[in-house]
Structure 1
């Protein structure tokens, strides 16, 4: 699960830039072509380094895949996991900001995640189950605060919002044909956040009672 993931320690001084560059190129290439169809030579050429340097840092493609997987899990965990802020913060907006920040700052991670989930790879299963775990934790917290509408299915109250967001990520390249600007532009992310917030808030959330001056 995401909460158990701890990013690997930094490489030795002088190696950070090349290791990160190779990993980042591998992340993008795996997202486009899949891990099976991607060779170390393809990654080396895209990264502008020799295949020998790739092998020096990672030894094998399997090790490179593991490094990418650990990086993706760490980014997702750091971006999405953790308890929600308490009142008076709007919990729906708090989660939405985490998601839109992830899209804005880590688009290649989103691409890799979607590829893994759609292909149903072991990494895709790990990601999906981790997202469900995070979602359930958030909704359990909201239920404890009395903010979840009564009578909702206890499984689908967490699954529906997660599937809604994940589905948008998977088809987002098609969305661009139906929006005035790319989905990942600030204006369109803001529109999506507000529309999704309204949908979840009206269907699953009880608005907290406003605090009065008298307590």
Structure 2
């Protein structure tokens, strides 16, 4: 084979290799995008289930302690599953933007989960007090300790929500994707916040 034919062959091989690499990367990126969308939609569904259950409980107005404990425990399990779903995809995605965004959301949910864990501890302490298992002073101590920690965790959660908004403002294409997917507002730059009627009066009964 003369040098001219060899050079042509080399060029063809390089072009074919580049084309294969380009096509492969495009395919992998598309699969990554689809899996990201599915992951966020699943996480959003989990978050909405927890929100709906909480609103249903609050709509009763007067809530039995055991119902509150059960609902919170279910919420915590749901949040753990939600975190695990995002963690799994975060650890295998090729997309650094996805990875950074998911870590912020995982941190946000982890903080929210800790808030509910503290709330659950407080409710269980109240139940023990109503059952005469602990004194009022012991319960007040538990309550004050829980509130102090909850205030700090709440600040951390707000910081993560702000961080998420800032991140998505720097990545408008990602935010548009999230809005188009119609996922829970906690996953995009739309209104942040809790669920249900904020003026709703809730009273626990044993």
- Which of these two proteins has the greater Rg computed from alpha carbons? 2
More helix by share: 2
With normalisation by structure 2, the TM-score equals 0.29
Higher relative contact order (CA 8 A, sep 6+): 2
**TM-score relative to the length of structure 1:** 0.28
